[in-house]
Amino acid sequence: MKRWFIVTTYSGYESSVKTDLERRRVSYKMEDQIFQVLVPEETVEVTDKKGNKKLKTNKIFPGYVFVEIEVEKIMKDNKEVEEMNEDVWFMIRNTPKVTGFLGSSGGGTKPVPVGKDEMNNILSKLGLITKAKIEIYPGDTIVVTEGSFEGRTYTVSNVNEDKGIVTVFMELFGTTTTSEFDISQVKKI
C-alpha cells in the first residue's frame, strides 16, 4: 500500500532534496518502495516595478517535500498502524538538507502518513489527479474492501462527493448507527 509522507528540509533546498531523493532511490535500489517525490509549486503572474508582467513559480509549502512510500500495516500498542520500511526511513532521514519528517514525534519514532483525504485534495488542486465520479448512492449496498471491516456489507445512508466519503448504516451493540468510509475502501455490490 502506498502512502504520502512529508519530509522537512532547509527552506530553499526543496528542489535539491527532491533531486537527491530521486537519485538515491535508484542507487539504493528502492524504486519498489519510493514511488514519487513531489515539491508542490504554483505559477503566478507578477508585475515588476516597470509594469512588466512575468510568470513566477512559488513553492506552495516552503520547507516541505512530499514522498510517496510503500507502507506495511503492523500492530503497535494493540493498534494497527502504517509504517514505512526501516531502510527507506533511514535513507530519507540521512539525505543531505533533510531535517526530518512532519508527523514524527522524535526520539526515533517513525512519522505518520498524510491523511488520504488531505493528500487527495492537495493532488487535486495541483491538477495531478481528478476526483472520480462516485457511482454509489444512498440506499445502495456496498462491501468494505480494506481495513478492519473488510468483507462486511452495509447500506449507504449518505455520500459526500467532495470529501470522497461514504456514510453507511451499521448495526452495533443492538442499535443502528452510522460510520464513514473513504470511497477507496468500498465497492458497490
Which CATH number do you get for residue 176?
A: 2.30.30.30
Instruction: Based on the fold, state whether residues 113 and 165 are members of the same structural domain.
Output: no
pTM given for the model: 0.68
Measure the CA–CA gap between 143 and 155, rounded to whole angstroms: 9
Instruction: Based on the fold, state whether residues 90 and 152 are members of the same structural domain.
Output: no
The residue segments making up the domain with residue 42 are 2-125
Partners of 144 in beta bridges: 186
User: What are the C-alpha distances in Å from 92 to residues 122, 147, 168?
Assistant: 22, 28, 39
The reply to whether 40 falls in a domain is yes
Quick one: 186 exposed, middle or buried, by C-beta within 10 A (0-12, 13-18, 19+)? buried
Q: Return the C-alpha cell found at 20.
A: 537527491
The reply to whether 62 falls in a domain is yes
* pLDDT by 10s per residue, the chain, length 189: 899 999 999 999 999 999 999 999 999 999 999 999 999 999 999 999 999 999 999 999 999 999 999 998 888 888 888 889 999 999 999 999 999 999 876 667 789 899 887 888 888 888 887 665 678 999 999 999 887 888 999 999 999 887 788 999 998 888 889 999 988 889 999
Q: Domain tally for the chain?
A: 2
Instruction: Based on the fold, state whether residues 105 and 172 are members of the same structural domain.
Output: no
The reply to whether 53 falls in a domain is yes
Instruction: Based on the fold, state whether residues 99 and 67 are members of the same structural domain.
Output: yes
Measure the CA–CA gap between 65 and 97, rounded to whole angstroms: 11
Among the candidates 82, 97, 125, a domain finishes at 125
Which CATH number do you get for residue 120?
A: 3.30.70.940
The reply to whether 184 falls in a domain is yes
Instruction: Based on the fold, state whether residues 15 and 87 are members of the same structural domain.
Output: yes
The reply to whether 130 falls in a domain is no
Instruction: Based on the fold, state whether residues 41 and 97 are members of the same structural domain.
Output: yes
Q: At which residue does the C-alpha cell 530553499 appear?
A: 12
The reply to whether 135 falls in a domain is no
